[in-house]
Amino acid sequence: MMLKHTAVVTVVVVLALGSAAASNPLAVLQSDASLEEKAEACRLISISGDTDALPVLESLLADEQLSHMARYALEPMPGPEADAALRRALHITTGTLKAGVIASLGVRRDAAAVPELIALLADDNGLVVEAAARALGRIAEPEGVNALSKAIADPDRDYAATQAVADGLFAAAENALANDERADAIRSYDDVYAIEALPGVIRAAALRGAILARHANDGLPLLMDALTGDDATFFEAALRAALELENRDAVARIITDVLPSLSADRKIQVVRLLGELGQDAAGPALLREAETGPTAVRVAALQAAVRLAYAPVIPVLAQLVLAEEANLATIARDGLSHFPGSEGDIAVKNMLKNDDAQMRRIAVELIGKGALPDPANLLMQVANDDTDEAVRLAALRSVKEYVGVPQMQGLLGHLLEARSEDEMLAAEQGLVLLAMQQQDNADSMPAEIITALCDALNNSDDEVQRAVVRILAATGSQKAFDAVLPLTMTNDDNLQDTAMRAVCDWPTPLALSTVIAWVKTTDSNTLRARALRSAVRLLALEKDTPEALSQHYATLLEQAASTDEKNLILSGLARIGHAAALDAALEQLDDESVRAEAILAAIAIAKQLGDSPQDAEALERAKSLIPELRQGIEE
């Protein structure tokens, strides 16, 4: 039985083509079926076909149209019979088809094909030669590898063939390594590396293999030759090979030894390599490079030392945070901020005790950027206690990203007793962020937050009072709204304006009825426009019946004073899939200035309508008024 698992075939067939290939793919291949059906039959055989399929597949290997699909079926088929079929095809194929057959033999690692493949290294067709070379490498039989070793030295081969022969030797070498035949692998790599006429890319790959095949100890001299030699390609290859060697400590130590002798350009590369290797042994050398020398080298060394978490570099970093050279200062600050482990944290905390206020300010900024875990209380302490105003202010500004409920009273204190506008602004920003954090959990917002803010509202005036209004608005809570709303009727013009803006910016639908009322009743065009925009925004958040929402939109449409406002309202209305919303949109069709937006809204609403008679009637009305509507729905 050729197809072992009909269930599998069924699955694949459902995905694919017709039933003919599924029921009997071999019969399809022998019939007048279309090319597509025959290709599909080959796919099915590729999954579960067995030797029953071989005669038919073999007959197709020389077929220009189906050779590939025959290979597609044969290549994964278990058993030596498939190998034999492919080998026989070497005698009946040429050129591209033959190259394909050779590739399949290589994938299958058919050792019996080696003699014929060796002969094909001398074929006139370049594709055949390349395929044979790579196949011989994959198969990795000694006879084939020897042939490749001879071929790589042939100066008459073109670039593509040379590359293929090298690929073959590399594959054979890796196979030898996998089989613990290290000497064979070294020989293959050395054969390629030794030929100076070969392209640098190929020789560099051979060098990398030669280093790794020798393992760390024996490979290190080659590695060092490349790192210190003149050839840039080999130098780059050595950088990669160093990362692959197993004994990283030994690698790092020997590289460290030659570091001082390298040019600045190479030093940078090698310093970065030492950082990547991550070995403590490189620390002292990196420290030396970090302390003096060309800036680019120092920068690289500082980065590498930080990656190593080499603690002795911390004083250097601390010293350089105020360096005149911007690169050094930036690297030092970043390095200190995120130095792995606790030593960096201690250094940053020590900077806070420095007599130099500038140093303390930088420490605060580093803390703000994440230099210390859970820094909120520490920053608040600095904001309260530091003797320098700039440091206090920096701490207050930095704390806002970390602020939580425990910091609220402290921030409120800075707001209520601010010694400068900047301090008040920083405190307000922190409290707004805190309020916004709690917004998503408005129902469970700690009562003390709102209570404290309301108390502050009653016990402050002028700028501070207006700031508290804005903070209360950011909470979005009912209690805050109840506190702010009365201020919209105060005689203090500035406070009234702030309160009205706060209500219009209210983040939750609590303010909806108020702003709609303002739209309908206010004499102020400015307030009406602001309230209308707010109403449209809040309607999108409001959870109410579609009828009620549609009625609100209709009211707003009646009050709209400009085309822009109507378009804005229509865009909101378009989200409601209800007959009442559709009717509201249709009523705007006579207004030429908004007709286009009304049609778009109607189409959007129509797409969301349900099956109710009311919806059906509204849709019919809409179709009678909007010829584009039917097309719009179909799209």
With CB under 8 A as the contact rule, the residue among 168, 219, 335, 476 that binds other proteins is: 335
With CB under 8 A as the contact rule, the residue among 69, 145, 176, 510 that binds other proteins is: 69
Element (DSSP H or E) covering residue 168: helix 159-178
Q: Which residue's structure tokens are 């290589």?
A: 106
Using the minimum distance from each CB to other proteins, give the nearer residue, 116 or 455. Answer: 116
Residue 167 found at the interface with other proteins (CB under 8 A): yes
Of 11-19, 462-470, 485-493, 606-614, the window that binds other proteins (rule: CB under 8 A) is 11-19
**What number of other Cβ atoms are within 10 A of residue 326's Cβ?**
9
Asked if 320 and 291 touch (Cβ cutoff 8 Å), the reply is no
In 3D space, the residue among 608, 598, 610 whose CA is nearest the CA of residue 566 turns out to be: 598
Please give the DSSP secondary-structure letter assigned to residue 602: H
- Cα maximum dimension of the chain: 103
Asked if 342 and 310 touch (Cβ cutoff 8 Å), the reply is no
Please give the DSSP secondary-structure letter assigned to residue 372: S
Q: How far apart (Å, rounded) are the C-alpha atoms in residues 370 and 393? A: 18
Q: How far apart (Å, rounded) are the C-alpha atoms in residues 99 and 115? A: 16
Residue 307 found at the interface with other proteins (CB under 8 A): yes
With CB under 8 A as the contact rule, the residue among 276, 422, 492, 497 that binds other proteins is: 276
Residue 112 found at the interface with other proteins (CB under 8 A): no
Smallest separation, CB 109 to other proteins (Å): 13
Smallest separation, CB 353 to other proteins (Å): 21
Using the minimum distance from each CB to other proteins, give the nearer residue, 201 or 517. Answer: 201
> How many residues at the interface with other proteins, by CB under 8 A?
109
* List of residues 6+ apart from 554 with CB closer than 8 A: 580, 584, 587
Using the minimum distance from each CB to other proteins, give the nearer residue, 118 or 135. Answer: 135
Residue 48 found at the interface with other proteins (CB under 8 A): yes
Using the minimum distance from each CB to other proteins, give the nearer residue, 95 or 627. Answer: 95
With CB under 8 A as the contact rule, the residue among 22, 29, 33, 97 that binds other proteins is: 97
* List of residues 6+ apart from 578 with CB closer than 8 A: 546, 547, 549, 550, 605, 609, 615
Using the minimum distance from each CB to other proteins, give the nearer residue, 7 or 183. Answer: 7
Using the minimum distance from each CB to other proteins, give the nearer residue, 164 or 602. Answer: 164
Query: Which 435-464 residues touch other proteins, going by CB under 8 A?
Result: 437
Using the minimum distance from each CB to other proteins, give the nearer residue, 102 or 359. Answer: 102
With CB under 8 A as the contact rule, the residue among 30, 269, 377, 608 that binds other proteins is: 269
Q: How far apart (Å, rounded) are the C-alpha atoms in residues 298 and 308? A: 15
Q: How far apart (Å, rounded) are the C-alpha atoms in residues 201 and 108? A: 28
With CB under 8 A as the contact rule, the residue among 60, 113, 168, 235 that binds other proteins is: 235
Using the minimum distance from each CB to other proteins, give the nearer residue, 371 or 450. Answer: 371
Residue 244 found at the interface with other proteins (CB under 8 A): yes
Write the CA distances from 547 to 48, 260, 567, 614, integer angstroms: 61, 80, 20, 12
Smallest separation, CB 238 to other proteins (Å): 9
With CB under 8 A as the contact rule, the residue among 27, 112, 194, 232 that binds other proteins is: 232
Smallest separation, CB 74 to other proteins (Å): 8
Residue 40 found at the interface with other proteins (CB under 8 A): yes
Residue 236 found at the interface with other proteins (CB under 8 A): yes
Q: How far apart (Å, rounded) are the C-alpha atoms in residues 242 and 211? A: 9
Residue 377 found at the interface with other proteins (CB under 8 A): no
Using the minimum distance from each CB to other proteins, give the nearer residue, 234 or 481. Answer: 234
Query: Helix, strand, or coil here: 626?
Result: coil
Using the minimum distance from each CB to other proteins, give the nearer residue, 242 or 586. Answer: 242
* List of residues 6+ apart from 386 with CB closer than 8 A: 360, 392, 395
User: Could you give the angle at which helices 579-586 and 613-625 cross, rounded to 10 degrees?
Assistant: 20
Using the minimum distance from each CB to other proteins, give the nearer residue, 216 or 568. Answer: 216
Q: How far apart (Å, rounded) are the C-alpha atoms in residues 128 and 249? A: 46
Of 239-247, 254-262, 541-549, 624-632, the window that binds other proteins (rule: CB under 8 A) is 239-247
Query: Which pair of tokens denotes residue 443?
Result: 């129902």
Smallest separation, CB 343 to other proteins (Å): 13
Query: Which 137-166 residues touch other proteins, going by CB under 8 A?
Result: 155-160, 162-163
